[in-house]
Amino acid sequence: MEQEKILARLLQILTRYSQERATGPFVDYLDPEELRQRLDLDSGVRGDWDQLFAWVEKYLTHAVRTSHPAYLNRMWAGANLPSVIGEMVTAVTNTSACTYETAPVSTLMEKYLLRTMLELVGFHNGTGQMTTGSSNANMIAMMAARNNADPAVKQQGLFGRPPLFALVNADAHYSMDRASNILGLGAEHLLKVPVDDHGRMRVDALEQRLAEITAAGGVPFFVAATAGTTVRGSYDLLQPIIALRDQYKFWLHVDGAWGGAVVFSDRLRARFLPHLEQADSFTLDFHKMLGTSLMCNVLLFNQRPDILRQVCSAGDESYIFREGDNGEIRDLGTQSLQCGRRVDSLKWFLDWKFYGREGLAERVEHYLELCAYAEAQVQQAAELEMVVPRESFNVCFRFRPPAPIPAAAFNQELRERMHRTGRSLVGTGFVNGELVLRLLITNINVDKSEIDTFFRAVIETGRELLAERSGLDHPRTR
């Protein structure tokens, strides 16, 4: 009885939170020290539900409202309601998706997801798994490529083996650097291939590196193409890389954490990701553009149905895993690097059933239209400029302060001011050494009018900063 009352109370709080979260500022900003005092983390007594709910209220009051239309900061925002329902059910039922016997429904849903996505991407006789995100997926893909290139590595490690080299777009995600560290390659064996004007790997430079490595007795075992680089949104061209693969026999991984979401739309896939079906592996985050609650990812492998088992399985698993009938893998944990695995399949499944492929395709197409609209707004505003033309979804722009004010410091200050005053939170990044404000639209509550509001706020904040600099008496609005 107590439990029911408590859950009802929680639902009431969450309902009120979701009614209020799109109104007012996106965050009640406090400096860290002030927030620490306000939270008073040392206070409280044990076993008191009223106090527990007071903590919940404090958390909600000071949390960043990521569904708020002024939250334009990251590759994700808010979360789809169907997936939130899935997440809550997952929390209440609390199980690990490593064995069929503890997670029968989740196992079948994950297998259904893998079948659905392999077919959609066009991978034949493949396999895959839900991982904790594309950072991990990139690492697992690199590991699979490593062990595929030199099967002795699983037993002997890299000691005394021919040197391996991985090659990535110079703007590839930092998870590639971390993966090469974890996997024992070292930073010097991860080569960053320079990019062209569009932020795509230069194929001539890639070819040159491949030739140099091979001539020196090295093994270029892995090339990762990025489908939507994190800062610029550039898509590496797959076809010329596939042609090089025929010659050099490397593993071609496609990091579609961000821009892989175009696979749901035939039109956008043909434009941004042709030939994806010929890659060796592909990762896609459902928790970014597609709006499933964090974390939700799928990593897919082409043509190699047993690769995950071969690569990941190690050690004595006899206490936990059972052989399925006719060798079928029933326990997904046998092909994972984790033991305990969160159930991520239910929230994906509910999103998939609720929106369908068409709904997700429409969403991604709509985001792209909004990005084109945003770029046009930047071009029309005298105070703003695009730092580089838009490649896909990422709008890399900045406020143009009059000379001699340095643009980077000014835009950094502008961004901080917008954050602290709760007007908006927008991302940043560096393109060709220039600081850019990086507008990302992944929020279903954002439409043209919210984009207009955002740019108005950028321009007002910029003018305000300029007025303060020139010593004019300009009222600071909060």
Ligand X SMILES: *Cc1c(COP(=O)(O)O)cnc(C)c1O
**110 binds ligand X per the rule CB under 6 A:** no
Among 175, 377, 424, 443, binds ligand X (CB under 6 A): 175
**Rounded to the nearest whole angstrom, what is the least distance from the CB of residue 19 to ligand X in the complex?**
29
Residue of minimal Cβ distance to ligand X: 133
75 binds ligand X (CB under 6 A): yes
Residues with Cβ within 8 Å of residue 139, at least 6 apart in sequence: 175, 178, 179, 182, 183
By CB under 6 A, is residue 190 in contact with ligand X?
no
* Least spacing, CB of residue 171 vs ligand X, in Å: 9
Query: Crossing angle of helices 32-39/49-62, nearest 10°?
Result: 160
**Residue 257 interacts with ligand X (CB under 6 A)?**
yes
| Residue 285 touches ligand X, criterion: CB under 6 A | yes
Smallest distance from ligand X to CB 370, Å: 19
Q: Is residue 226 within the footprint of ligand X (CB under 6 A)?
A: yes
Q: Output the CA–CA distances (angstroms, integers) from residue 455 to 378, 415, 427, 462, in the order listed.
A: 8, 12, 14, 10
The yes or no reply on residue 347 touching ligand X (CB under 6 A) is no
Check binding of 268 to ligand X (CB under 6 A).
Answer: no
User: What φ, ψ does residue 286 adopt, rounded to 5°?
Assistant: -75, -20
131 Ramachandran zone, left/alpha/beta (phi>0; psi -120 to 50): beta
CB of 131 to ligand X, least distance (A): 8
Query: Coil, strand, or helix at residue 10?
Result: helix
Residue 169 sits in the site that holds ligand X (CB under 6 A): no
Asked if residues 280 and 222 have their Cβ atoms less than 8 Å apart, the reply is: no
Q: Given its phi and psi angles, is residue 310 left (phi above 0), alpha (psi -120 to 50 degrees) or beta?
A: alpha
254 - beta bridge partners?
225, 282
Pairing, β 395-399 against β 425-431: unpaired
Q: How far is the CB of 75 from ligand X (least distance, A)?
A: 5
Are the CB atoms for 352 and 291 separated by under 8 Å?
no
Check binding of 272 to ligand X (CB under 6 A). no
133: contact with ligand X by CB under 6 A:
yes
464 binds ligand X, rule: CB under 6 A = no
Q: Does 135 bind ligand X (CB under 6 A)?
A: yes
* Residues of span 237-256 touching ligand X by CB under 6 A: 255
Residue 377 or 392: the one with the smaller Cβ distance to ligand X is 392
Residue type, 105: V
Distance CA 235, CA 368 (A): 14
* Interface with ligand X, residue 149, by CB under 6 A: no
Tell me: does residue 351 bind ligand X (CB under 6 A). no
Minimum distance of ligand X from residue 231's CB (angstroms): 9
Cis peptide before 404 (omega within 30 of 0): yes
Chain contacts with ligand X (rule: CB under 6 A): 75, 133-135, 173, 175, 226, 230, 255, 257-258, 285, 297
